[in-house]
Structure 1
């Protein structure tokens, strides 16, 4: 039986079904999503007055912006068929998104849910962007993990197929994370 060598030098049989891995990715994503909803909507804020680590929302926006930049750079690399540079950019985007997630969890554990103070049309626009951001972020997590799985396991045709969906969703979530922060900060100024 022949095997494929991944970036981490693990041997994966080419005939091995990806289903158990995809099922694990979906389960992990579901648990992470449920945890985040609990954290945001059920867990009481440890610092409801928001006096500690008040820079976290700005840091979250920075990580989202850096992730979006790395995604765009990775896209230009893959269009130029610069595979190692593409892979490095995508790992960088993943690292920034992971740092965002850690910072986001700390921010919500401390400060709880943020409420938009404005009214009227601008609040409707804000809520529309926020809702699409949240819903697509729930979809983005398993897509990103699955896309990485296909790449790292040498299943490049499947990687390409799913990356066509993952890239725009991940980019949208990263960009709208910055937009949501900017709108909230402007309304509070």
Structure 2
């Protein structure tokens, strides 16, 4: 692996941190291609929830490891969590490239949530949209935070790594957990 000790990677991290949400946003407005992918793409959100669950478990393990002085295990738990997050991102982008977004409360699966469906869902939709909104916003925010946390760790800048990791960990954990909760809440409408 290249020596990151004295490298300034602020610009590449900024570019990645802007490019990812921009690419995802563009996917939501592009027309969906008529492709046969050989499997039911409606299974992908479940896969995303599994990845988010595993990431949350790894983050808890990472915290446990560092609190108990197991630096190597801490490192591998975090690198595995990052790997799962990359797989999640690639799968998420693929899913939204291939399909229209599912609408919360769309009981008849026609792509429209009418007044009857809104009434049937009730006030739970406010909780769903709150969780979804905070999940999305913090998912954008967490990308540079994770990258800077990793960079500081690889640079052996432990003081700065700890400082940013104390903020990064709870946000990343929240994003992972809310990803699962949002999936559970919208799953009946796929």
Query: What SS class does the counterpart of residue 115 from structure 1 fall into?
Result: coil
Residue number in structure 2 paired with 1:3? none
Residue number in structure 1 paired with 2:108? none
Counterpart-to-counterpart distance in 2, 1:47 and 1:54: 15
Residue number in structure 1 paired with 2:114? none
Counting only pairs closer than 5 Å after superposition, residues 93-172 of structure 1 correspond to structure 2 as: 93-117=81-105, 119=118, 120-172=122-174
Counterpart-to-counterpart distance in 2, 1:111 and 1:152: 38
Query: What SS class does the counterpart of residue 114 from structure 1 fall into?
Result: coil
Residue number in structure 2 paired with 1:72? 60
Q: Structure 2 residue aligned with 1:25, among 9, 13, 29? A: 13
Residue number in structure 2 paired with 1:45? 32
Query: What SS class does the counterpart of residue 54 from structure 1 fall into?
Result: helix
Residue number in structure 2 paired with 1:10? 3
1:102 Cα offset (Å): 1.0
TM-score (norm: length of structure 2)? 0.85
Counterpart-to-counterpart distance in 2, 1:136 and 1:67: 15
Question: Is the contact between residue 58 and residue 181 of structure 1 (CA under 8 Å) also seen in structure 2?
Answer: yes
Question: Is the contact between residue 47 and residue 111 of structure 1 (CA under 8 Å) also seen in structure 2?
Answer: no
Question: Is the contact between residue 65 and residue 174 of structure 1 (CA under 8 Å) also seen in structure 2?
Answer: yes
CA-to-partner distance for each residue in 1:99-146, whole Å, 9 max, x for gaps?
111110111011132211153211111000000000000000010011
Relative to structure 1, is the Cα distance of residues 102 and 11 closer, same or farther in structure 2, using a 3 angstrom cutoff?
closer
Matched, 1:56 2:44: yes
1:11 Cα offset (Å): 6.4
What stretches of structure 1 of length at least 5 have no aligned partner?
A: 1-7
What stretches of structure 2 of length at least 5 have no aligned partner?
A: 106-116
- What number of residue pairs does the alignment pair up? 174
Runs (4+) off by over 6 Å: none
Query: What SS class does the counterpart of residue 112 from structure 1 fall into?
Result: coil
How large is the RMSD of aligned CA atoms in angstroms? 2.0
TM-score (norm: length of structure 1)? 0.85
Question: Is the contact between residue 4 and residue 151 of structure 2 (CA under 8 Å) also seen in structure 1?
Answer: no
CA-to-partner distance for each residue in 1:120-176, whole Å, 9 max, x for gaps?
211111000000000000000010011001101111111000000100010000000
Question: Is the contact between residue 142 and residue 171 of structure 2 (CA under 8 Å) also seen in structure 1?
Answer: yes
